[in-house]
Amino acid sequence: MNQDGIVVQSSEPHIFRNKIQKNYQNGIFLQTFDSIRCDALIEKNEISANKKNGIHVAGNNNFARIVGNLRIEYNKLAGIKVEKSAHASIIRNSIYKNLAQVSSIEQFISKNKGVLIVESASGHIEKNSIVENIKANIAFGGQNSNNTTIIDNKIEFGRCEGIFLISGGRCYIGRNHISENNEGLVCITSIPEIRNNTIIKNKSNGID
């Protein structure tokens, strides 16, 4: 085991077709130094069973792209965590069965997410399969949430919320298939635009 499997600092590597497993901390940790840009591309990897997050994206001017990864699974915290003013593009990944998580806004939200975007960060989440994470499949909110878009995803079989949003701005949630979670979409003190989603067969409410 390593501490982090791969650490990227204010650079733009292409991390392609690796198996990144069983590290003591994160599978991949992407951060910025003195706000110098990070434009890493994380593509077609298998990232599993790490003791913290599968992929952790942090720092101002961090524009990491997480694209087409085959498996982001069984990590003990979040599958993907984005924080500290980062903006990640999360596209066409399989993110499932991640186990637990701790965040700086955990006092407001339930734990255990597939994708966590912490207050001050944002993301573009498109065409992913986000399935069977122990609690919410996606959780986000806070001052930069208006820069977050969630479109064309399959968000299914979460033990709690499909999407959990708290203190969110005018973010966009559109064309997602949100099904068979405990609750489909939960919004607390938020003003999202929710359009053209299919929200079916959730055990409790579709939208709360």
Mean pLDDT over each residue of the chain, to the nearest integer = 91
103 pLDDT tier (thresholds 50, 70, 90): very low
Task: Answer whether residue 109 shows pLDDT above 50.
Answer: no
Q: How confident is the model at residue 106 (pLDDT cuts 50, 70, 90)?
A: very low
pLDDT at residue 134, rounded to an integer: 87
DSSP secondary structure letters along 118-183: -TT-EEEEES-EEE--SS-SEEEESTTGGG-EEES-EEE--SSEEEEEES--S-EEES-EEESSSE
Q: How far apart are CA 104 and CA 13, in angstroms?
A: 28
For residue range 53-77, what is the model confidence (pLDDT) as tens digits?
A: 999 999 999 999 999 999 999 999 9
Residue 208 has a pLDDT of: 65
Note the pLDDT tens digit of each residue in 175-196.
Answer: 999 999 999 999 999 999 999 9
Q: So what's the pLDDT on residue 93?
A: 97
| Confidence grade of residue 14 (pLDDT, cut at 50, 70, 90) | very high
Q: Look at residues 42, 44, 55, 52 and name the one whose alpha carbon lies nearest to residue 22.
A: 52
- The span from the CA of 96 to the CA of 70, in Å, is 11
Q: Where are the domains of the chain?
A: 6-200
Mean pLDDT of all residues in 15-20: 98
Q: In this predicted structure, what is the pLDDT of residue 113? A: 66
